[in-house]
Structure 1
Amino acid sequence: MRWLTPIILIVVLLTAACGHDPGGKDKIAVIDWDKAFSAHPKQTVLKQGEAELQKLLRYREEQAEIAKTQIAGLTRLQQLKQNSKANFLDAGFQTQMYAAEAKERKKLLDAYDAAVKEADAALAEQEKELEDAYQLKILNLRLRLEAIKMRPAEREVVQNELNQVQSEREQQRQQILAEKNKIIGAKMEPLVAETQARLKQHAEQLQQEMQGDMSGVLSKDQSDLAKVPEALTKAMAAIDKQADKLQESNEKLRAGIRNDIESNVIKLAHERQYTIVFHSVKVNIKADDITDDVVKALQNMK
């Protein structure tokens, strides 16, 4: 991008006249260049052009600031949207995983009930034999304690015997229960492993889908965000192009004004046989001020 900065050229005229005065002395003139420049008929047009250029440059700065604010706001908005999308996807993930876990848990409970029934059926005969073996012994010992009058020492002996028989029966019950648990465990362990594998696979699939959804959101946001600087660049380029044209037009006007002033100064120098024309008054130099004459000539150029 090319910046055009207005340049004001101050021309110092040292114009040699075609002849000298009869006395052999140099005739010197002076012109107030700034006054002549300001009095040129095209000065109004030039001022309008410069004002329009400055207005355009200010507009450019304003648009750049607005664009920066919009980009920052869009970035924050996209971040909020992405956070909201991530929370939504996470909530969906948790919901689907909860449903999958509930379904798998129901399967495991059904399988556990079936395994318990199978273990009970497998060990039912042992349990019956155990109960048959100890039922009569325990019943007789209890009847003795309840129906027969015994001395305390004798009662203690019978009670100890009952406790011993019940303890033996309980030990054998625990052995049967351990066997049941072994049968149930053998059935359930592979089912639990399969369930965990399915849940893990399901979670990974959901996470991949979530990542795909988020990637789509991020890609679209990045694409939308990239369009803003691109649009800004195009807008700035259009403004710069317009500014270049205005600057070029203003420079042509300045050059034309300078040429008009120089032409009239040279014309007066020839007519009045000035040897030197200064653009400002020099100390201790006597010179004719031709500013008003040049201004008058410029105004007649309308």
Structure 2
Amino acid sequence: MPNKRPRGPQLSWKPKRETERVLVAVEAMLDLYADYLPVTLRQIFYVIQGQGVLAKTQRDYKRMCEYVGMARRSGRIPWSSIRDDRQIAAEAPPAFAGPEHYWRVVHDIALDYRTDRQYGQPTRLELWSETEGMVPQLARLGEQFGISTYSGSGFDGLNGKHEAAERAIAGGIKTCILHVGDHDPSGEWLLTALAEDVTAFAEAAGAEVEFVQIAVTPEQIERYHLPTALPKPTDRRSYSDTTTTQAESLLPDVLAAIVREEIEARRDMDLLREVIEREPAERQAIIDRLNDLR
């Protein structure tokens, strides 16, 4: 069950002898390649497997991942040392052909100036999608309200969960994560695992996080006559229903209306309008100041 798995920081964790043996090899690898961090778990495995520390099996790879995960939760291995396999490579640092190019770029940035649409709101919002392919659609909705959108697919995105808690901590107010996912055993367990872990990390630093499943829900399945299917016979996880439904079965305009309604229900719309209305004047003031500097 998800609630039996380690959640949040594990500062009192003490590794057993076999775990310690593997972690010593992992730490040696991280020290050896300190100039190339962060590395992936697969990279670590290939190195220590080549040293004879582990066998070249999926079972040993998963075992190593569990050991490293606990070491990160305990603070023994820095979060920044390892890149989760799902992450995308970072872009190169900004560079310019010369001062004039720099000023053109700065001017273009000023033209895109936007006020923080979540400023002053009682709750900080994020949008999460179980399905990566739905992120662009949700992002177009979220950006109107200054809300970032993330993909929460998979069970192993430890960095992503930790970073979500870090954002909640930095926000200084309650964070509400609006989640769009499938109504099936996998989606139910995924949401539970995400919520438990992110909440535990945030609570350890005194921050509050709430997860809300806004789609797809049993009520929406009935209301919109969404197609259903029986759960996969190979999936033996406990489940609160007898049929399954994919979030992607919601028509795009219906999903958009659901998401917008859920966001607006958690926004002070008068305050949001005030923040947006002062944007043009602030943008022009920035451009005028840049012109004076050039």
TM range (shorter): under 0.3
Q: Higher relative contact order at CA 8 Å, sep ≥6: structure 1 or structure 2?
A: 1
Larger radius of gyration: 1
| Superposition TM-score, scaled by structure 2 size | 0.17
Of Structure 1 and Structure 2, which has the larger fraction of its residues in strand? Answer: 2
